[in-house]
Structure 1
Amino acid sequence: MTAELAFVIGYDISDPRRLLRVHREMCKHATPLEYSIFLLVGSENDKKLCLLEIGSLIEPQEDDVRCYALPARGFQGRIGRASLPEGIVWTGLPAAIA
């Protein structure tokens, strides 16, 4: 059994058509936090597959894709307006970082 890890993946895509393709592909692998920022919860292989798929859609000289591993026991906080309505709790985070 592989441990669940969490990754934040963000991108800056220069072409609107590629941007839409990348966004659609990312939605297959991860949960959008903002339009171009996603949370991927899964294995190292899940991350590699996602980045491989995205890599086939971008132009490396024009676009930027970044992936950051979240620490298992890192601080989590939010400043500003809530992203979910009051009373709704998102339990999609792995127990180690929830």
Structure 2
Amino acid sequence: MLTGKQKRFLRKKAHSLKPVFQIGKAGVTDNLIKQTADALEARELIKINILQNSMEDKHSAAETLAAEADASVVQIIGNTIILYKESSENKTIELPS
């Protein structure tokens, strides 16, 4: 579980990132979950954009992706989800305590 200080730090780092994935009308699929987990292992911090034609609720989509990829939801703002997971091999982000 991330603390408030850690979430602020991650939001600041994620500000300049571009969305890596988009959730469309197909919603959260198994393929999207696998790709999200792989991207989190490589990058640790990613943005995911939810398109207008998606029937998926942004909060349920964020919770599903976070649970399946074993990640933490940093923020849901507008139609953008920010996820963080500490990488086991490519650790680059040092969280404040």
- Is the pair's TM-score, using the shorter chain for normalization, greater than 0.5? no
Larger RCO (CA within 8 A; separation ≥ 6): 1
Name the one with the larger helix percent.
2
Larger radius of gyration: 1
